[in-house]
Amino acid sequence: MNLPDPQAIANAWMSQMSDPGQWQSWFNMAPATEANPMAAMMQDVGAHIKPEAMERLKNDYLQEFGGLWQDFLAGKAPAIKDRRFTSDAWQGNPMSSFNAAAYLLNGKFLAAMAETVETSTPQQKQKIRFAVQQIVDAMSPANFLATNPEAQQKLIETKGESLTRGLANMIGDINKGHISLSDESAFEVGRNLAVTEGTVVYENPLFQLIQYKPKTETVNQTPLLMVPPCINKFYILDLQPENSLVRYAVEQGNTVFLISWSNPDKSLAGTTWDDYVDKGVIQAIRVVQDISGESKLNMFGFCVGGTIVSTALAVLAARGEQVANSLTLLTTFLDFNDTGVLDVFVDETQVALREQQLAHGGLMPGRDLASTFSSLRPNDLVWNYVQSNYLKGNDPAAFDLLYWNSDSTNLPGPMFCWYLRNTYLENKLKTGQLKVAGETVDLTKIDAPAFIYGSREDHIVPWPSAFDSLNILNPGKAKANRFVLGASGHIAGVINSPAKNKRSYWTNDKAPARGKAALADTWLNGATEHAGSWWPEWSAFLNDHGGKKVQASAQPGNARYKAIEPAPGRYVKVKAD
């Protein structure tokens, strides 16, 4: 076998990567335009590395590549720990293992280049890191039949059947408009997902309100109103009985109401953030007050649902009403100072472009939102399934959470644009500068103890940002709030039923000093880790603020708000176009 000269390979690689003019062709990106600021940034990135830094990187790369090549010639297998390349098919094939090791080395070098680029803002550096990592992940030899020995081996073993099935899977996904992450035939909302017994007792074009059937003879006097995110469907909180947070809350003796947001179509294309607050959450509060006869409710918000709930409570506070007996916020931003990796999608140019397209009407398609979130974890949510479903011809397994992940939701353009500009871009929600539904929003005026939860590996709402809500809510009343940190990520950390006895969580009952901002790292240093689910901690908080025990209501609704249809209702079953 005639092997190329390693020095020639390394020199060609370095020539390609050190020449700023080669960046765009290397990254295979669209031409730089006003609508594509990422391409413009990457085209220019090579020119922002100091020559001495580039020379150092080049020398380090040549040394490591040379060592890898010499090991290959000597028949020494590279040590690879990346789980994409640990199977016998990779490790037992010298060329495949070399390709994997060379790929990992190249990826390491690209990441080092990204870190070396001089930028004027941290956001620019974050964008460069993100763009480079996206390309590195896409270039993996595991993603191509010609360089994936596992797929090649299966092709031979099945006499081509795996390739036939893979092509059929790919064509099916093209027709569906998304990569299949789960066996979608295994699930149906209302049959084996979102099956907690309840009744829709109110609806308007924006939402349906579900009242769940009590499972205890007595319940807390103060009802619980749950507001899920409108960016996806509510049944993440009610997947199956063994991992349903809704069912758990009902079983713990709460009268539970929940908002099921509509999946917007053109009739809702002009809906605003004010509408979600006033015609959404505040209207739901009015209905629950009427049905329950209680003036105060235990309020709950998850992700952007928590942001909307908090805005609604601040609007009511400005009107002289304190309707929350307590407030639960799960993985929620109130302070958008650190939005983690999502920061790469939000700058003045990108927000202005969205405003030009959607601010006066239109829909942000659910498939675009889903693609954005998948890009945050491409190896787990994109390339893993390209390899399995298409290259190997496997059918995805049945997994309720991933089925939900693919069941996307549209957003009204005006609402989406307001949200992007006023929170992610300008971080105005916490400042008291915004007007919503005719009122000035001051989150510090919400007079209710808060249970705040963050997930330690959350890439969508970094847990220190969730923790920062302690510095906004109930100023001067530090002991009124409670923070709990869970293991895992944005979804898996939240959906962690006690029945599973998995993961862990942290608590710290020592309140921060009065008048001082609570610091996340200080809190964690003094925290205690507990095995299992954090849900019982939340249940205890609800009981503390649930009032006395009263007889559970035998019938949903009342004379004014009658039963419309059984839960989960029609709205949650509507698919995004």
Number of other CB atoms surrounding residue 369 within 10 Å: 18
Closest to 229 in 3D by CA, of 109, 89, 135, 330: 330
Determine which of 66-70, 355-359, 458-462, 478-482 has the lowest per-residue pLDDT on average.
478-482
Mean pLDDT for the stretch of residues 466-471: 94
How long a stretch of residues is the chain? 577
Q: Both tokens of residue 445?
A: 């005026």
Handedness of CA 395, 399, 402, 406 (dihedral sign): positive
Q: Both tokens of residue 52?
A: 């001495």
- How far is Cα 209 from Cα 287, in angstroms, rounded to an integer? 9
pLDDT given for residue 128 in this prediction? 87
- How far is Cα 198 from Cα 255, in angstroms, rounded to an integer? 11
Does residue 477 surpass a pLDDT of 80? no
- How far is Cα 445 from Cα 397, in angstroms, rounded to an integer? 48
> What are the boundaries of each domain within the chain?
6-148, 198-342+423-573
Determine which of 43-57, 79-93, 238-252, 558-572 has the lowest per-residue pLDDT on average.
43-57
Closest to 326 in 3D by CA, of 178, 404, 222: 222
What single-letter DSSP state applies at residue 211?
E
Q: Both tokens of residue 547?
A: 């009032």
The pLDDT-based confidence of 373 (bands split at 50, 70, 90) is confident
Helix axes 51-73, 6-18, angle to 10 degrees: 150
Determine which of 43-57, 113-127, 238-252, 544-558 has the lowest per-residue pLDDT on average.
43-57
- How far is Cα 219 from Cα 254, in angstroms, rounded to an integer? 5
Pairing of strands 256-261, 207-212: antiparallel
DSSP-assigned beta bridge partners for residue 227 = 301
Catalytic residues: 303
Domain 198-342+423-573 in CATH 3.40.50.1820: yes
- Which DSSP helix (H) or strand (E) runs through 415? helix 413-419
- Quote the pTM value: 0.89
Pairing of strands 565-566, 198-203: antiparallel
Closest to 112 in 3D by CA, of 54, 199, 152: 54
